[in-house]
Structure 1
Amino acid sequence: MHFPVTRMRRLRKTSAMRSLTQETFLQPSQLIYPLFLCPGEGVRKPISSMPGVFNLSIDEAVKEAAECAALGIGGLLLFGLPESKDAEGSGAWAEDGIVQRGLRALKADASLRSLVLIADTCLCEYTSHGHCGPLEGEGVDCTVNNDATLPLLARTAVSQARAGADIVAPSDMMDGRVAAMRDAMDEAGFAETPIMSYAAKFASAFYGPFREAADSTPQAGDRRGYQMQSANIREAMREIELDVAEGADMLLAKPAGPYLDVIRATRERFDLPLGAYQVSGEYSMLHAAFERGWLDRDRATLESLFAIRRAGADFIVTYFAKDAAKLLG
Structure 2
Amino acid sequence: MPEFHRGRRLRRSRTMRDMVRETELRPQDLMMLYFVVETDDENFEKPISSMPGQHQLSLQKLEQRVAQAVDNGLRSLMLFGIPAQKDEHASGAYDDNGIVQRAIRMIKANWPDLLVCPDVCLCEYTSHGHCGIVQDGDVLNDPTLELLARTAVSYAEAGADMVAPSDMMDGRVLAIRDALDNAGFPNLPIMSYAVKYASAFYGPFREAAESAPQFGDRKTYQMDPANSREALREAAADVFEGADILMVKPALPYLDIVRQVRDSFDAPVAAYQVSGEYSMIKAAAQNGWIDEQAVVLESLTAIKRAGADLILTYFTEDLLKTL
**TM range, normalised to the smaller chain?**
over 0.9
With structure 1 as the length reference, what TM-score do the two structures score? Answer: 0.96
1:195 aligns with 2:190: yes
Moved more, 287-296 or 69-78: 69-78
Provide the residue aligned with 2:118 in structure 1. Answer: 119
Residue deviations 1:161-186 (CA, integer Å, cap 9, x gap): 00011001000000000000111111
1:263 aligns with 2:258: yes
**Does the 8 A contact of 1:69 with 1:114 survive in 2?**
no
**Does the 8 A contact of 2:10 with 2:20 survive in 1?**
yes
CA distance in 2, matches of 1:102, 1:127: 20
Provide the residue aligned with 1:49 in structure 2. Answer: 50
1:143 aligns with 2:144: no
**Does the 8 A contact of 2:108 with 2:114 survive in 1?**
no
Moved more, 112-121 or 50-59: 112-121
Provide the residue aligned with 1:174 in structure 2. Answer: 169
Provide the residue aligned with 1:28 in structure 2. Answer: 27
1:9 aligns with 2:4: no
- Any gaps of 5 or more consecutive residues in structure 2? none
CA distance in 1, matches of 2:177, 2:261: 22
1:253 aligns with 2:248: yes
**Does the 8 A contact of 2:128 with 2:213 survive in 1?**
yes
CA distance in 2, matches of 1:206, 1:29: 25
**Does the 8 A contact of 1:252 with 1:276 survive in 2?**
yes
Match of 1:220 among 215, 218, 226: 215
Provide the residue aligned with 1:67 in structure 2. Answer: 68
1:162 aligns with 2:161: no
Provide the residue aligned with 2:181 in structure 1. Answer: 186
3-state DSSP class of the match of 2:205? helix
CA distance in 2, matches of 1:97, 1:26: 35
Provide the residue aligned with 1:288 in structure 2. Answer: 283
When the two chains are superposed, the root-mean-square deviation of aligned CA atoms in Å is 1.0
Amino acid paired to 1:62: E
Measured after TM superposition, the shift of residue 233 of structure 1 is 0.6
Amino acid paired to 2:132: G
CA distance in 2, matches of 1:260, 1:74: 24
Measured after TM superposition, the shift of residue 251 of structure 1 is 1.1
- Any gaps of 5 or more consecutive residues in structure 1? none
Measured after TM superposition, the shift of residue 62 of structure 1 is 1.2
Amino acid paired to 2:95: A
CA distance in 2, matches of 1:39, 1:155: 20
CA distance in 2, matches of 1:34, 1:49: 15
3-state DSSP class of the match of 1:258? helix
Provide the residue aligned with 2:317 in structure 1. Answer: 322
CA distance in 2, matches of 1:43, 1:28: 28
Q: 1:262 to 1:59 in 2, by over 3 A?
A: same
CA distance in 2, matches of 1:229, 1:75: 30
CA distance in 2, matches of 1:143, 1:12: 57
**Does the 8 A contact of 1:32 with 1:74 survive in 2?**
yes
**Does the 8 A contact of 2:194 with 2:248 survive in 1?**
yes
Number of matched residues? 321
Provide the residue aligned with 1:298 in structure 2. Answer: 293
CA distance in 1, matches of 2:135, 2:259: 37
Identity, in percent, stands at: 57
CA distance in 2, matches of 1:202, 1:74: 27
**Does the 8 A contact of 1:99 with 1:119 survive in 2?**
yes
Q: 1:136 to 1:29 in 2, by over 3 A?
A: same
**Does the 8 A contact of 2:250 with 2:272 survive in 1?**
yes
Provide the residue aligned with 2:86 in structure 1. Answer: 85
Residue deviations 1:116-173 (CA, integer Å, cap 9, x gap): 1001000000000000011122xxxx22100010000000000000001100100000
Measured after TM superposition, the shift of residue 2 of structure 1 is 5.9
3-state DSSP class of the match of 2:270? strand
Measured after TM superposition, the shift of residue 195 of structure 1 is 0.6
**Does the 8 A contact of 1:77 with 1:118 survive in 2?**
yes
CA distance in 1, matches of 2:322, 2:293: 7
Amino acid paired to 1:60: K
CA distance in 1, matches of 2:218, 2:167: 9
CA distance in 1, matches of 2:148, 2:166: 10
**Does the 8 A contact of 1:298 with 1:327 survive in 2?**
no
CA distance in 2, matches of 1:56, 1:183: 33
